[in-house]
């Protein structure tokens, strides 16, 4: 009897506690719990990184990202998108655009549209690797020169100034023309070794302003090594500028590759937009009325460089909040 009375008196208390807890988790107007709403909002906010949200909120950068993804997909699925092998010469020479050959054929009988699709791979590869090599050299030389100062800065600044005054285009043409090996790899190496000076000078000037900050002084007193201070303390604070420099270098690499191959210093067997322009010029595309053979690769080059330039507007917004669009 005592146990039954104990249970009978305790049960209402437990129910009362449960009701009190339920009442405390409900808003006065019957809505959801404020903490639950905040957690749902937080989960919704962090579905994408902040840097991507900033890029995507910029209309120009959004268009550039969409175009860049389009070119990347074309390069990946070139074998599925191209109707023919770009090196197949079994078709009629110098054919005008038709339902079988959307952009016509070359003077050797190759399908122009298939070459245009496969040429996307070469341009993206040269832009990514050539721009990356140029940015890497500029980053190391510029940051070391700006942070070290003294005799190291004087020596590295001498080479930077030398790279600025030497005519880049004739140097690239000479190196590519006299190279015993032809192909995109040589062009990537030539572009990377001749296009780093402007980026190095820009990064050096930026490091000169950062090395006197308090957190750098604290790292020096803490005994951090020079390499760690440069690449762990300074570089993260200028990451948006590094990305901006890389995009500019990639644009320059794509244009330089097309220019070198148009001048005839590339591998004639390479399928690229620059080599398409070279063969279209040699084959007299305008004289024979094959305007698509000459115009299509030129428009493709303009489109891919434009999309990278549009992405630059979003990258600028990462480092300058005043440029961000609401």
Q: Residue 246 contacts by C-beta under 8 Å, 6 or more apart in sequence? A: 131, 132, 135
Residue with the larger pLDDT of the pair 230 and 41 = 230
| pLDDT band of 28, cuts 50, 70, 90 | very low
Sketch the domain layout of the chain as residue ranges: 2-45, 50-323
Predicted confidence at residue 50, as pLDDT, reads 76
**Predicted confidence (pLDDT) at residue 152 exceeds the cutoff of 50:** yes
State the number of CA atoms in the 13 A half-sphere of 55 facing the CB: 20
Count of other CB atoms within 10 angstroms of residue 163: 21
- For the whole model, what pTM was predicted? 0.79
Q: Which of 306, 300, 305, 303 is nearest to 271 (CA)?
A: 300
CA dihedral 147, 150, 153, 156 (to 10 degrees): -140
How many Cβ atoms from other residues are within 10 Å of residue 167's Cβ?
Answer: 10
CA distance 152 to 154: 5
d(C-alpha 113, C-alpha 276), whole Å:
11
Name the strand (E) or helix (H) holding 245. helix 239-262
Task: Please state the length of the chain.
Answer: 326
% pLDDT > 70, the chain? 83
Mean pLDDT of 67-76: 96
Rounded mean pLDDT, 295-306: 94
CA distances in angstroms from 213 to 144, 152, 179, 208, 291, listed in the order given: 16, 21, 46, 10, 58
Q: Residues 193, 176: contact at Cβ < 8 Å? A: no
Say which residue, 100 or 44, is predicted with more confidence. Answer: 100
pLDDT digits (tens, 9 = 90+) for 210-227: 888 888 889 889 888 989
What's the pLDDT band for 49 if we cut at 50, 70, 90?
Answer: confident
Residue 26 has pLDDT above 50, yes or no: no
Phi and psi at residue 117, to the nearest 5°: -65, -50
pLDDT confidence bin for 73, thresholds 50/70/90 = very high
**For the chain, what is the total number of helices (H) and then of strands (E)?**
15, 0
The CATH classification number of 50-323 equals 1.10.3720.10
Residue 323 pLDDT: 58
pLDDT of residue 67 exceeding 90? yes
Q: What pLDDT, on the 0 to 100 scale, is given for residue 317?
A: 73
> What average pLDDT is seen over the chain?
83
């Amino acid at each position: 009897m005592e146990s039954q009375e104990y249970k009978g008196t305790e049960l209402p208390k437990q129910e009362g506690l449960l009701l009190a807890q339920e009442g405390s988790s409900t808003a006065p107007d019957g809505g959801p719990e404020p903490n639950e709403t905040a957690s749902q909002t937080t989960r919704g906010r962090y579905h994408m990184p902040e840097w991507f949200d900033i890029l995507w909120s910029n209309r120009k950068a959004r268009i550039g990202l969409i175009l860049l993804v389009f070119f990347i997909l074309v390069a990946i699925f070139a074998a599925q998108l191209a109707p023919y092998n770009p090196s197949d010469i079994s078709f009629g020479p110098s054919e005008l655009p038709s339902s079988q050959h959307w952009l016509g054929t070359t003077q050797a009988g190759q399908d122009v549209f298939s070459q245009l699709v496969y040429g996307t791979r070469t341009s993206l590869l040269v832009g990514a690797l050539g721009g990356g090599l140029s940015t890497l050299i500029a980053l190391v030389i510029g940051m070391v020169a700006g942070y070290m100062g003294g005799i190291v800065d004087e020596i590295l600044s001498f080479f930077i100034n030398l790279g600025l005054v030497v005519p880049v285009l004739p140097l690239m043409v000479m190196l590519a023309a006299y190279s015993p090996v032809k192909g995109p790899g040589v062009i990537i190496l030539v572009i990377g070794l001749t296009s780093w000076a402007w980026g190095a000078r820009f990064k050096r000037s930026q490091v000169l302003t950062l090395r006197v900050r308090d957190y750098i002084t604290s790292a020096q007193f803490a005994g951090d090594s020079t390499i760690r201070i440069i690449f762990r303390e300074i570089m993260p604070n200028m990451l948006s500028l590094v990305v901006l420099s890389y995009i500019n270098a990639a644009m320059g690499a794509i244009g330089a590759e097309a220019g070198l191959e148009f001048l005839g210093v590339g591998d004639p067997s390479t399928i690229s937009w620059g080599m398409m322009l070279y063969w279209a010029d040699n084959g007299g595309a305008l004289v024979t009325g094959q305007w698509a053979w000459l115009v299509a690769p030129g428009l493709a080059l303009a489109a891919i460089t434009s999309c990278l330039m549009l992405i630059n507007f979003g990258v600028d917004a990462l480092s300058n909040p005043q440029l961000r669009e609401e």
